[in-house]
């Protein structure tokens, strides 16, 4: 059985709401400006990607040239 990593819902609340909004509006893909929006570790990344898949949404990430570094 699938278990969401602890704290995921609170930590990624903005991402979860964005996905729900895009699905409700019939938008086919979510666009994020930074890859780390999806997670800080493997479990968070897989959870985010799984949520996108569960909703039937695609994913687009802006190019590195358009995104400032995380540091």
pTM (two decimals): 0.80
pLDDT for position 3: 78
Q: Is the dihedral of CA 58, 64, 66, 69 positive or negative?
A: positive
**Domain spans of the chain, in order of start:** 8-63
- Tokens 């964005």 belong to 18
- Tokens 């086919």 belong to 28
Q: How many CA atoms lie within 13 Å of 42's alpha carbon, on the beta-carbon side?
A: 0
Per-residue pLDDT of the chain (71 residues; tens, 9 = 90+): 677 877 999 999 999 999 999 999 999 999 998 888 999 999 999 999 999 999 999 999 998 775 556 55
Contact present, 64 and 25 (Cβ < 8 Å) = no
* Overall residue count recorded for the chain in this entry: 71
């Amino acid at each position: 059985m699938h278990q969401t990593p602890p704290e995921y819902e609170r930590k990624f609340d903005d991402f979860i709401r964005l996905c729900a909004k895009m699905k409700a509006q019939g938008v086919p893909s979510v666009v994020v400006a930074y890859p780390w929006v999806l997670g800080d570790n493997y479990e968070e990344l897989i959870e985010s990607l799984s949520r996108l898949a569960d909703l039937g949404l695609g994913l687009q990430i802006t190019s590195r040239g358009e995104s400032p570094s995380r540091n």
